[in-house]
């Protein structure tokens, strides 16, 4: 884990505890440090007022910086961010891998994370191959099933996968390699220093070789002693930092990669669909299946039982094929109760959010002026290509489920609660999935599938239709942001920025998945609102010297089910901030690039900004209607800068087109440049989707969109051929996160280019809906 200054400060607070246990071994001290940090964070989270806790935090953490409190409340994320929270809660469980050396001298490895296309399986195999001196092609890797002992160490999300694998996987592999060398030393009758290793063999100084499989069976289970292992020096790396293609690339292009619905794990698991209500929250009153039950292939039709929280879903249809299930579903005659929010539409949600939003600081009359305004980001579907799916068999003594879950232990626990069994009686197998973007933090199909399997008493394959996935969520919550930057008018001296306020009011973000567990593990039981506040304050910051800054969140629950969308709050809030940074620069008669460079309080951000400016030729003259735009983002221990070029059209039939994207990234160390570049380009494409093209609409209690036909994500013609991605060189620190990093920066760059091309201040998105003539 990165030991930055603030981490050392936190440890100072716990030093008396460390002192008391000075006779314990190193391993114990590691535990104690964590316990101390966890207590401290728990105290912070449970403070009666979060703002007060923040103040204490600022003071406690930076006693040497007396001006800090006068300048404003430091953002929590500057001191302790979500990556830290996830790492601290997960760390006690990280030194636990299955790495078996098989009799044919191959390596069997289980990754206790989720692969959804982001490439972490490939990256983890690179770390393992590097530290164990084996070839990538000799590793057979799968995803770990839910394993209760992993607790908060089996969560994938918040872009912390690589950061959280880096030390533990390197060290466990290094400890195994040392064990192999020691065995080889005994075998050859030499000292361990005379043994080298290569491609799965230990070699003595005469070149005699012995396979690893002759020396060890590998490791399995918790292995905290490995914390003391010494991984390789980066100067020796042969694999880490090199271009490695996806390990499943060949299986993908030949159609061999199996997703959950392709599995043949339970041969008689039958295709299952659910008939869902016409509006959100609607319930089955009665249903008549007489026209459906006799159709070809139909095996069972049952109302889905309410879940343990009394949520209803609809009527399940099991058939021999999904086509037959579709037809039977459509032949059902169901009488639905109207959802609780039958008259609720986007406009009312916006109005209610506006009513709960906290006020920004007032201007001082005559002396100060301000820029900014109200930004609104709509509901947004995650829309992964593979909808929510699960194979479920609740017919035996153990409930068995195969599904894509980024928080498999939360899924296992929820299934157990729903079915009234112990979590240990639920076998939850994690299956590589077709995309997530935040959607698979939740495991709705797995939970519903287990209930259906139980009620129809047969194994099933539950698939959400695309329409289910679009209409019933989950979605990125609609959010409203009031952003205001104040500056002196500068009668005698120059203009000076005095304050930066962000007041967000969002539809409540459902965080009661594994993130919640991770945070609860630190802070004790928290109400849902405290989850949100914790995520907000541990992710949101302003990285500019803007005087007094305050970023506050208020939330309200509505009927649309929600889940974090790639970037969590940053995909909206940080974008609004960067738009206002551009407006502030112009208000102060400064160039947007120069102004950022002057005001940034972060050297790594300055470096990536300079990089995109140079590589993207910032300030070059453009034809009328075209412009460049900049966006920055700092999160996950990483930094991103994006420069885009945008072409806008007066013709309302034509939408703005991104013609070039230049990205510079500082992630401390790049493991796999080709994998990271793919994430960057994907994130930039996401930004095109939600800033320019599409959204969901809540319309009288139901989502209006139903498929890719009306939820129009970016396509080939919306993606520029000209995309450049630049990485900063390694700086010795633990690799930072990057899966979400570029989303806010690219989104801001698009909005800023739009403003510079058209003179329109973008406030609502997608741009093509709200500014058709721009």
The residues that touch another protein, with contacts defined as CB under 8 A, are 116-119, 245-246, 248-259, 261-262, 264, 271, 295-297, 320-324, 326-327, 383-387, 433-435, 437, 463, 465-467, 674-675, 678, 681-686, 707-709, 713-717, 719-721, 723
Sequence-ordered list of residues with C-beta below 8 angstroms from that of 317, at least 6 positions apart, any chain: 272, 273, 274, 275, 292, 298, 300, 301, 325, 328, 329, 332
- Least distance (Å) between residue 259 CB and another protein: 7
Return the SS3 of 576: helix
Q: Which is nearer to another protein, 435 or 730 (CB)?
A: 435
The encoded tokens of residue 685 equal 């494409």
Contact between 695 and 346 under an 8 Å Cβ cutoff? The reply is no
Rounded-to-integer distance, Cα 622 and Cα 612, Å: 17
Residue with token string 């299946």: 289
- Least distance (Å) between residue 99 CB and another protein: 25
Rounded-to-integer distance, Cα 235 and Cα 737, Å: 22
- Least distance (Å) between residue 672 CB and another protein: 10
Q: Cis peptide before 402, with omega less than 30 degrees from 0?
A: no
- Least distance (Å) between residue 434 CB and another protein: 3
Q: Which is nearer to another protein, 74 or 117 (CB)?
A: 117
Q: Which is nearer to another protein, 591 or 722 (CB)?
A: 722
Q: Which is nearer to another protein, 165 or 661 (CB)?
A: 661
Rounded-to-integer distance, Cα 128 and Cα 140, Å: 11
- Least distance (Å) between residue 449 CB and another protein: 16
- Least distance (Å) between residue 65 CB and another protein: 42
Burial class, 397, CB count within 10 angstroms (exposed 0-12 / middle 13-18 / buried 19+): exposed
Q: Which is nearer to another protein, 261 or 441 (CB)?
A: 261
Burial class, 195, CB count within 10 angstroms (exposed 0-12 / middle 13-18 / buried 19+): buried
For 434-481, the DSSP string reads: S--TTGGGS-HHHHHHHHHHHHHTS-EEEE--HHHHHHS--EEPPEEE
Q: Which is nearer to another protein, 293 or 295 (CB)?
A: 295
Q: Which is nearer to another protein, 63 or 296 (CB)?
A: 296
- Least distance (Å) between residue 438 CB and another protein: 12
- Least distance (Å) between residue 389 CB and another protein: 9
Q: Which is nearer to another protein, 61 or 441 (CB)?
A: 441
Contact between 583 and 372 under an 8 Å Cβ cutoff? The reply is yes
- Least distance (Å) between residue 576 CB and another protein: 23
- Least distance (Å) between residue 116 CB and another protein: 6
- Least distance (Å) between residue 721 CB and another protein: 6
Q: Which is nearer to another protein, 329 or 611 (CB)?
A: 329
User: CA angle, corner 17, sides to 16 and 18, nearest 5?
Assistant: 90
Rounded-to-integer distance, Cα 67 and Cα 75, Å: 15
Contact between 194 and 768 under an 8 Å Cβ cutoff? The reply is no
Q: Which is nearer to another protein, 539 or 689 (CB)?
A: 689
Work out the number of other CB atoms within 10 angstroms of the CB of residue 295.
17
Which contacts (CB < 8 Å, 24+ apart) does range 306-313 have? Answer: 307/418, 307/447, 307/448, 307/451, 308/414, 308/417, 308/418, 312/283, 312/284, 313/274, 313/276, 313/448
Q: Which is nearer to another protein, 561 or 720 (CB)?
A: 720
Q: Which is nearer to another protein, 34 or 433 (CB)?
A: 433
- Least distance (Å) between residue 436 CB and another protein: 8
Rounded-to-integer distance, Cα 409 and Cα 105, Å: 32
Rounded-to-integer distance, Cα 410 and Cα 462, Å: 19
- Least distance (Å) between residue 486 CB and another protein: 38
Residue with token string 């109207």: 338
The encoded tokens of residue 729 equal 């060189």
Q: Which is nearer to another protein, 584 or 749 (CB)?
A: 749
For 155-221, the DSSP string reads: ---TT-HHHHHHHHHHHHHHHHHHHHHHHHHHHHTS-GGG-EEETTEEE-TT--EEEGGGT--EE-S
């Amino acid at each position: 884990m990165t030991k930055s200054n603030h981490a050392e400060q936190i440890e100072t607070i716990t030093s008396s505890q460390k002192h008391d246990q000075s006779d314990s071994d190193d391993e114990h001290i590691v535990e104690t440090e964590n316990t101390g940090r966890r207590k401290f964070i728990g105290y912070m989270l449970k403070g009666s007022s979060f703002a007060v806790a923040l103040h204490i935090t600022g003071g406690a953490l930076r006693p040497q910086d007396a001006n800090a409190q006068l300048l404003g409340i430091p953002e929590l994320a500057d001191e302790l961010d979500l990556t830290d929270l996830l790492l601290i809660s997960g760390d006690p469980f990280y030194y636990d891998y299955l790495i078996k050396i098989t009799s044919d001298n191959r390596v069997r490895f289980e990754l206790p994370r989720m692969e959804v296309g982001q490439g972490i399986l490939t990256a983890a195999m690179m770390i393992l191959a590097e530290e164990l001196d084996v070839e990538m092609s000799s590793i057979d890797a799968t995803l770990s099933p839910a394993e209760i002992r992993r607790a908060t160490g089996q969560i994938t999300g918040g872009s912390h996968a690589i950061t959280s694998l880096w030390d533990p996987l390197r060290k466990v592999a290094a400890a195994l390699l040392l064990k192999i060398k020691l065995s080889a030393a005994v075998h050859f009758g030499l000292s361990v220093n005379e043994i080298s290793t290569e491609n799965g063999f230990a070699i003595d100084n005469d070149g005699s070789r012995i396979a690893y499989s002759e020396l060890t069976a590998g490791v399995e289970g918790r292995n905290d002693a490995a914390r003391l292992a010494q991984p390789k020096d980066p100067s020796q790396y042969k694999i880490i930092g090199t271009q490695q293609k996806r390990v499943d690339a060949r299986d993908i292009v030949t159609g061999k990669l199996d997703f959950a619905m392709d599995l043949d794990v339970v041969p008689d698991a039958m295709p299952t669909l659910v008939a869902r209500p016409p509006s959100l929250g609607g319930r089955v009153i009665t249903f008549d299946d007489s026209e459906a039950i006799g159709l070809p292939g139909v095996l069972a039709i049952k109302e889905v039982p309410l879940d343990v929280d009394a949520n209803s879903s609809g009527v399940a249809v099991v058939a021999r094929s999904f086509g037959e299930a579709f037809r039977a579903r459509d032949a059902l005659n169901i009488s639905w109760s109207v959802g609780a929010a039958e008259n609720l539409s986007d406009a009312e949600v916006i109005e209610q959010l506006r009513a709960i939003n906290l006020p920004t600081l007032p201007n001082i009359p005559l002396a100060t002026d301000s820029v900014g305004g109200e930004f609104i980001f709509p509901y947004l579907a995650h829309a992964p290509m593979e909808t929510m799916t699960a194979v479920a068999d609740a017919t035996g003594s153990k409930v068995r489920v195969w599904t894509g879950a980024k928080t498999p232990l939360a899924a296992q626990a929820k299934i157990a609660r729903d079915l009234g069994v112990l979590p240990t009686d639920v076998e939850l197998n994690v299956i590589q999935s077709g995309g997530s973007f935040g959607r698979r933090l939740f495991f709705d199909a797995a939970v519903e599938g287990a209930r259906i399997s139980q009620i129809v008493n047969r194994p099933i394959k539950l698939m959400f239709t695309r329409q289910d996935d679009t209409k019933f969520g989950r979605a990125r919550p609609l959010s409203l942001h009031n952003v205001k930057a104040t500056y002196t008018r500068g009668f005698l001296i120059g203009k000076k920025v005095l304050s930066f306020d962000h007041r967000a009011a969002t539809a409540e973000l459902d965080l009661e998945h594994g993130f919640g567990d991770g945070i609860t593990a630190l802070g004790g039981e928290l109400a849902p609102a405290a989850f949100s506040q914790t995520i907000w304050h541990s992710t949101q910051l302003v990285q500019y010297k803007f005087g007094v800054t305050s970023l506050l969140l208020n939330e309200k629950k509505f009927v649309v089910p929600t889940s974090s969308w790639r970037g969590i709050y940053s995909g909206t809030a940080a974008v609004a901030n960067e738009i206002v940074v551009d407006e502030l620069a112009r208000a102060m008669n400064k160039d947007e690039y120069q102004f950022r460079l002057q005001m940034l309080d972060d050297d790594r951000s300055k470096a990536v900004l300079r990089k995109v400016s140079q590589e993207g030729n910032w300030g070059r003259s453009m034809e009328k209607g075209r412009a460049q735009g900049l966006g920055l983002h700092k999160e996950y221990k990483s930094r991103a800068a994006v420069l885009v070029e945008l072409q806008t059209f007066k013709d309302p039939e034509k939408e703005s087109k991104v013609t070039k994207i230049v990205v510079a990234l500082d992630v401390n160390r790049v493991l796999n440049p080709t994998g990271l570049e793919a994430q960057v380009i994907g994130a930039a494409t996401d930004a095109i989707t939600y800033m320019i093209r599409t959204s969901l609409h809540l319309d009288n209690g139901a989502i209006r969109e139903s498929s890719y036909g009306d939820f129009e994500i970016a396509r080939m013609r919306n993606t520029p051929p000209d995309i450049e991605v630049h990485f900063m060189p390694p700086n010795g620190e633990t690799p930072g996160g990057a899966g979400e990093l570029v989303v806010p920066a690219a989104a801001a760059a698009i909005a800023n280019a739009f403003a510079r091309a058209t003179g329109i201040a973008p406030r609502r998105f997608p741009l093509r809906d709200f500014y058709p003539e721009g």
